[in-house]
């Protein structure tokens, strides 16, 4: 059975040799599903950090299998109801569990209520001895869209850390991942990571698991320079394409995941995809994140 260092003293797994895991199950929402990281060869056309982690893990041991039950748009209550017991039934020895982000970004989102559901899920996921990896939320200070909820994210993170401490979970610390606190690591919707961001999260998770790998940092291209008018025009396009549909879904009590099913409901062997190129051949910037020159209207 996998062992980890005492979570009171470290957030990392203690792997002196090859990692001990053979069956990995990922649960959560769009973050874990891989939204923002398109890949035609993937089951749902998305790759994401969890697929990338599974690829590395599968290369190092025999008989490795990976399932991903995450579905975009899911609130923590839905994840607990729909994914926890199916995940346990797959008998994983490694689980990554990220949930509550969609709750926290809502105006009425309460990080303390999220923690109550989160802790119940962790108890159930860890009862058979699986290694459980949990995630802190990203520091939103760098983005105007979500800067206002930074305090709620910090409370959410403290709750997550406290739960991890009580149940010896490994913490994958997005808050401390300074590399991705840059809009060039985000998709056009300014909410989900792009390929660069998912790659960096995968590297962070593998560090937390103490799994050797050859994934190298991927640097975005330079910031394009836009005039004030150009930057505002891009903001308008973003609002029409992403913000307005998001608000309408809230008003209609709809979710982007209403017609989506899990991309890997069963533990299966992993096919390692061709590594993506570094830097310049990847999108350098998600719309609206460009530097702009001040210009009188």
What are 167's two structure tokens? 């149940």
Domain assignment present for 231: no
Task: Answer positive or negative: Cα dihedral of 123, 125, 131, 135.
Answer: negative
Q: What are phi and psi of 2, to 5 degrees?
A: -60, 145
Tell me if the pTM is above 0.85.
Answer: no
- The per-residue pLDDT for 42 is 84
Domain assignment present for 227: no
Domain assignment present for 239: no
Q: What is the separation of C-alpha 260 from the centre of its chain, rounded to a whole number of angstroms? A: 18
Domain assignment present for 205: yes
The H or E element spanning position 59 is helix 48-60
d(CA 109, CA 101): 9
Rounded mean pLDDT for each run of 10 residues along the chain, 297 residues in total: 40 74 97 94 90 96 96 96 98 98 92 97 97 97 89 97 98 96 86 93 97 88 68 58 55 61 92 57 41 33
d(CA 189, CA 46): 16
Domain assignment present for 197: yes
- What's the CATH number where 137 sits? 3.40.50.1110
Q: What is the separation of C-alpha 9 from the centre of its chain, rounded to a whole number of angstroms? A: 24
Which among 88, 130, 128 has a CA at the least distance from the CA of 2? Answer: 130
84: containing domain: 23-222+262-280
Domain assignment present for 218: yes
Query: Using one digit for the tens of pLDDT, what is the confidence trace for 28-78?
Result: 999 999 999 999 988 888 999 999 999 999 999 989 999 999 999 999 999
- The per-residue pLDDT for 143 is 86
What is the distance in angstroms between the CA of the first residue and the CA of the last residue of the chain? Answer: 64
Domain assignment present for 46: yes
Domain assignment present for 296: no
What are 280's two structure tokens? 């310049």
Domain count, the chain: 1
């Amino acid at each position: 059975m996998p062992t980890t260092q005492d979570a009171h003293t470290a957030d990392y797994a203690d792997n002196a040799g090859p990692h001990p895991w053979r069956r990995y199950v990922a649960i959560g929402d769009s973050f874990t599903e891989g939204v923002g990281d398109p890949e035609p060869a993937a089951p749902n056309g998305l790759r994401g950090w969890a697929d990338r982690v599974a690829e590395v893990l599968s290369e190092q041991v025999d008989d490795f299998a990976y399932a991903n039950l995450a579905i975009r748009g899911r609130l923590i209550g839905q994840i607990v109801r729909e994914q926890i017991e199916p995940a346990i039934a797959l008998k994983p020895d490694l689980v990554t569990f990220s949930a509550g982000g969609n709750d926290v970004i809502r105006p009425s989102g309460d990080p303390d209520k999220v923690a109550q559901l989160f802790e119940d899920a962790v108890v159930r996921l860890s009862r058979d001895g699986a290694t459980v990896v949990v995630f802190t939320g990203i520091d939103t200070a760098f983005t105007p869209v979500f800067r206002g909820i930074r305090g709620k994210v910090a409370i959410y993170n403290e709750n997550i850390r406290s739960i991890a401490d009580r149940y010896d979970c490994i913490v994958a610390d997005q808050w401390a991942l300074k590399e991705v606190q840059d809009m060039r690591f985000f998709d056009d919707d300014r909410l989900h990571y792009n390929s660069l961001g998912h790659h960096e999260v995968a590297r962070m998770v593998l560090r937390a698991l103490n799994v050797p790998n050859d994934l190298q940092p991927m640097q975005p291209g330079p910031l394009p320079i836009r005039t004030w008018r150009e930057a505002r025009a891009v903001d308008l396009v973003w609002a029409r394409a992403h913000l307005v549909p998001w608000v309408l879904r809230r008003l209609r009590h709809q979710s982007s995941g209403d017609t989506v099913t899990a991309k890997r409901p069963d533990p299966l062997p992993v096919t390692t995809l061709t590594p993506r190129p570094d830097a310049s051949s990847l999108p350098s910037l998600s719309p609206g994140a460009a530097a702009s020159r001040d210009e009188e209207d």
